[in-house]
Amino acid sequence: MNQIEVCLVGTGAVRVNLERGGPAFVVTAGDERILVDCGRNTVHNLTRAGYTVESINKVFVTHLHFDHVCDLAYFVLLSWNNGRKERIRFFGPQGLADFLDYALLKTYEQDIKSRLGHGKDPLGIEWSVTEIEADGEFHSGGDLVCSALFTEHGNMPNLNFRFDLGDKRVVITSDTSADPRLTPFCRDADLLVSECSGPKSFLDERPWGTWHMWPETVAALCREAGVKRVALKHLVVEDWTDDREISAKMAAAVRAAFDGEVILGPDGLKIQV
């Protein structure tokens, strides 16, 4: 059956936000279950959403800003501890292999040696890494085809991901500047999970503001690409204001310029596509 389920595991961003974890999404399609990014509190939020860490064997990383990878060590080590049976396959930007080497193998060298010493299966702490070097298809599993698009964000390798299963299409953006090449990449998507870091007036005042999208650019992308539904994520502005309605206002601004459904999910929301 051509069905994709997307779980908004974490829709927050960098700063501590008790309502929203850092970026993390689970895409389930056929036999494939893929974690996209592993930000703050991902392991807790995965558990709340009903996933065990050891059941996830593929991890896609958009980029190496810490808010997208800071829970990876806990994710990997806990899944090993819990009895992982399959090696993890990582896909992500250039530098990911070194990142995992340093952030896991070197940092936790004593821990790993200690656990191996009492008989833990080494397979659970082994992985493969594919560093994506060009736009286009980089992975397929069953009928699911996964493609990447590099866009500008923070002067670092930065990947947006697309999932095609039969006639179903889901796109999860990274943090990204608005880029006209996102339009063909998102063409006719049934669901776009898009970053929406803050209103333009907020981003205009931040030195990093040009690295991100705001409601009007999200709406324009949805319109031009013929996207059917959009879910907003990476809601940075929530952590800078006392206005508890700020994200609802951003969603309303997207709705004002886009006729499709606009989803402002709580963490843990599962969307069927």
- Which 53-82 positions form the footprint of Zn ion (CB under 5 A)? 65, 67
Q: Which is nearer to Zn ion, 35 or 273 (CB)?
A: 35
b/e for 239-250, b at 16 or more Cβ within 10 A?
Answer: eeeeeeebbeeb
Nearby residues of 257 by Cβ (< 8 Å), 6 or more positions away: 215, 216, 219, 220, 223
Contact, 144 vs 81, CB < 8 A?
A: no
Binding residues for Zn ion, rule CB under 5 A, total 3
Q: Which is nearer to Zn ion, 62 or 147 (CB)?
A: 62
DSSP percent split of the chain into helix, strand, coil, nearest 5:
30, 25, 40
Q: Pick from 173, 217, 164, 154: which is nearest to 62 by CA?
A: 173
Cα 59 from Cα 91, distance rounded (Å): 6
DSSP category for residue 104: I
Question: Is residue 164 a contact point for Zn ion (CB under 5 A)?
Answer: no
Taking the complex as a whole, the smallest distance from the CB of residue 82 to Zn ion amounts, in Å, to: 28
Taking the complex as a whole, the smallest distance from the CB of residue 121 to Zn ion amounts, in Å, to: 34
Of 82-90, 162-170, 173-181, 218-226, the window that binds Zn ion (rule: CB under 5 A) is: 173-181
- The β-bridge relationship of strands 144-150 and 159-165 is antiparallel
Taking the complex as a whole, the smallest distance from the CB of residue 186 to Zn ion amounts, in Å, to: 19
Of 175, 190, 238, 267, which one interacts with Zn ion (CB under 5 A)? Answer: 175
Question: Is residue 40 a contact point for Zn ion (CB under 5 A)?
Answer: no
Cα 151 from Cα 211, distance rounded (Å): 10
Q: Which is nearer to Zn ion, 71 or 175 (CB)?
A: 175
Chain-centroid distance of CA 219 in Å reads: 20
Of 28-36, 73-81, 111-119, 171-179, the window that binds Zn ion (rule: CB under 5 A) is: 171-179
Cα 164 from Cα 141, distance rounded (Å): 11
Taking the complex as a whole, the smallest distance from the CB of residue 3 to Zn ion amounts, in Å, to: 29
State the residue for tokens 């800003």. 65
Q: Which is nearer to Zn ion, 79 or 197 (CB)?
A: 197
Q: Which is nearer to Zn ion, 54 or 67 (CB)?
A: 67
Q: Which is nearer to Zn ion, 32 or 67 (CB)?
A: 67
Taking the complex as a whole, the smallest distance from the CB of residue 194 to Zn ion amounts, in Å, to: 13
Taking the complex as a whole, the smallest distance from the CB of residue 157 to Zn ion amounts, in Å, to: 11
Q: Which is nearer to Zn ion, 175 or 267 (CB)?
A: 175
| Helices and strands (H, E) in the chain, number of each type | 8, 14
Of 69-77, 104-112, 170-178, 220-228, the window that binds Zn ion (rule: CB under 5 A) is: 170-178
Query: Which residues of this protein are in contact with Zn ion, per CB under 5 A?
Result: 65, 67, 175
